[in-house]
Amino acid sequence: MARPEMFWRKQGLLFRSPGTPAWMASHAALPVTDCQPDGRMRVYFSSRNVQGKAQIGRFDFNPEDRDSMGNLAAEPVLKLGSLGAFDDSGVTSSCIVSRENKKYLYYSGWSLGVTVPFYLRIGLAESIDGGITFQRVSDGPVLGQDSADPYLTASPCVLIEGAVWRMWYVSCIKWSLDPDGKPRHHYLIKYAESPDGIRWGLDRPVCIDFSGPDEYAIGRPCVVKNAGGYRMWYCHRGSSYRIGYAESKDGIRWERLDHLAGIEGSEEGWDSEMQAYPWVFSHRNRTYMLYNGNGYGKSGMGMATLDGTQSR
């Protein structure tokens, strides 16, 4: 029996980096939500300074009222790492989970390379004040380069199920040279488990693999569990990013169903060239997606609502 296609109704551009203060000179990328006690959603996002180095900020809003946005943080909730650390050239938001009165913010740490332009590794910071401020659990990554992931790791999505922390994340399997002779990353989505959210096992199978020779990047997984299993939204690219979709019964073996994703680029405007970095969440019995458009979030962050499915 054919599965129905989702139908996302675009609500337009939700937030654009204001340009000031200096750490928010451009971009509002990689949105992550965390529901607050009053029912509002806190959005964590990545903004860049004039040197192009990203740091993580936040604001609050009610998805049912676009004019309700407030509490935009004047300072980053997570700043650049110390000189020489794995995250001294950028920190970008990935996901947030709660456990035992603490909030855990997973992020991608950026450092610059020589033979390749950058390295990415997964970092972790924790909050004991409800997500207002965060402190790194370590000056090093919780998942970096090793025998299972020799090139880079990034963009984790973590769910806690009982005593097991489950992570879906980006892993680079190689670098190559593009037709212009510039280094090109080839990364896809893998899976890992941990007993504490810090120590991750070496058994890390591939979840979402490349669909063909022209695809070289699959990024930013967002995994949601429901009674029927697991659903994942992500972005994938050949020439430019598009939003994809997959389903799984166990969270490890996935079926790609990109044709059912139900959201595409607009004919013109902020998301006409690219749709990337989806984050899907529920609020008062409605399902929402925050995502980025042109320029990897340079054009800002938009929102869409899931208005059901339709036969395809």
Residue 48, domain member (yes or no): no
Residue 161, domain member (yes or no): yes
Three-state DSSP class for residue 261 = coil
The more confident residue out of 309 and 288 is 288
Residue 8, domain member (yes or no): no
pLDDT at position 301 is 97
The arithmetic mean of pLDDT across residues 192-215, rounded, is: 97
Residue 201, domain member (yes or no): yes
CA 62, CA 71: separation in Å to the nearest integer? Answer: 12
We report the CATH number of the domain holding residue 194 as 2.115.10.20
Which residue from 157, 151, 148, 141 is spatially nearest to 202, judged by alpha carbons? 148
Residue 76, domain member (yes or no): no
User: 135-191 pLDDT, tens per residue?
Assistant: 999 999 999 999 999 999 999 999 999 999 999 999 999 999 999 999 999 999 999
Residue 100, domain member (yes or no): yes
Q: CB burial class (10 A; 0-12, 13-18, 19+) of residue 22?
A: exposed
Q: Kindly list the strands in the beta sheet with 301-310, ordered across the sheet, starting from the edge strand earlier in the chain.
A: 5-15, 301-310, 286-292, 276-283
Least reliable range by pLDDT among 36-40, 121-125, 300-304: 36-40
The arithmetic mean of pLDDT across residues 238-248, rounded, is: 96
Range of the domain at 179: 95-296
Mean pLDDT, the chain, whole residue set: 95
User: 279-307 pLDDT, tens per residue?
Assistant: 999 999 899 999 999 999 999 999 999 99
- Residues 110-134 as b/e (b if ≥16 CB within 10 A, e otherwise) read bbeeeeeeebbbbbbbebeeebeeb
